Amino acid sequence: MKFEIQHTNIFQYESEVDQSLNTIRLKPRSDERQRLLSYRITITPSSLTREHLDIWGNTVGTFYIPEQHKELEIQTTSIVSIQRAPFIHRIQYSPEMQTIFHSQLFYEHYLPYLKSTNFTFMTEVQLEEVYHAIGHAENPVLFSLNLMQYLYSTFEYDADATDVTTTASQAFILKRGVCQDFTHVMLAVLRAKGIPARYVSGYLYVDDNSALIGDIATHAWVEVMIPGIGWIGLDPTNNVEVLENHIILCIGRDYLDISPVVGVYTGGKHELSVKVTVKALNHL
């Protein structure tokens, strides 16, 4: 499938801003499943963007606006082709895969995705509550699928319950939140179980007949590393495997690693409005 994504961020300041320095992660990745065909960014007031890759392989753009402004608009248009991923539940977890999974080399290689962060920490009591509900399956594929189902059926999607500072432990107490919260909780449990997992931000294509949630702004889901297979995507907000409707923007340990726009400016408070549209262009 080929998709066109239009993403607009508009910052409206309560007073004139003298200057601003901004960092953005809005350029979709290219990998073995996804190919970025084109990318265009328009910044108002006009500014040039410099790009570099961060430690996770995400494209990071920076730009500086020296003149006074009361509004900042960042608009990107991307065209991406997606190759459909295989069904994860059909993966046969072999003894050879299990040997690799429990090896020291595997642990050391994926250590950054095994350590909890401030966003992905949960208490032992909270973890035991999850284990009691879904069990201790040794097969990481089965455990991950069971966990995704548990979160989908236990948590309620509520855009007003949390904000970008909410941690996995806090969201677990509430049993509600948005895709960021579903993802942080799932990461916390997977990492505590010794399963390498990473935070994925991106876009979700939802057609007219779909009940998927998460296409209004950027979406978030989880990728799990399975030896011999690679990174597999799971979307706990929608209880679906990531096949061809999910478009990857950035990856990291948690939300802090992939924040779409981070800015420093001289001035007062601001309000942010975000609009995302994802359109299917045609079948490849």
Q: What is the mean pLDDT of residues 211-226?
A: 86
Average pLDDT over residues 171-193: 97
Query: Residue 258 has what pLDDT?
Result: 95
Query: Quick one: tokens of 92?
Result: 């046969």
What confidence category does residue 215 fall into, taking pLDDT thresholds of 50, 70 and 90?
A: low
Spatial separation of the C-alpha atoms in residues 19 and 63, rounded to whole Å: 11
What is the predicted pLDDT for the residue at 228?
86
Please report the sign of the dihedral spanned by the C-alpha atoms of residue 261, residue 267, residue 268, residue 271.
Answer: negative
Checking if the pLDDT of 199 tops 50, the result is yes
Q: 2-82+259-282 in CATH: which number? A: 2.60.40.2250
Helix pair 179-192, 124-134: axis angle to 10 deg: 90
CA dist 60 → 36, 51, 93, 250 (Å): 15, 5, 36, 10
Separation in Å, CA 175 to CA 1, 101, 232: 34, 31, 25
Cite the DSSP H helix spans in 135-275: 140-154, 168-174, 179-192, 255-258
Whether the Cβ atoms of residue 56 and residue 257 lie closer than 8 Å to each other: yes
How high does pLDDT run on average in the chain?
92
> What is the end-to-end Cα distance of the chain in Å, rounded?
5
Give domain limits for the chain: 2-82+259-282, 88-257
Let me know if the fold of 2-82+259-282 is the same as that of 88-257: no
Considering the entire predicted model, what is its pTM?
A: 0.93
* 29-85 tens-digit pLDDT: 998 889 999 999 999 999 999 999 999 999 999 999 998 889 999 999 999 999 887
Q: Per residue in 58-72, pLDDT tens?
A: 999 999 999 888 999
What pLDDT shows up at residue 284? 45
How far apart CA 131 and CA 147 sit, in angstroms, is 9
Task: Write out pLDDT tens, residues 148-162.
Answer: 999 999 999 999 999
Please name the residue that has the structure tokens 């949390």: 162
CATH architecture for segment(s) 88-257: Roll (3.10)
- The predicted pLDDT at position 283 comes to 52
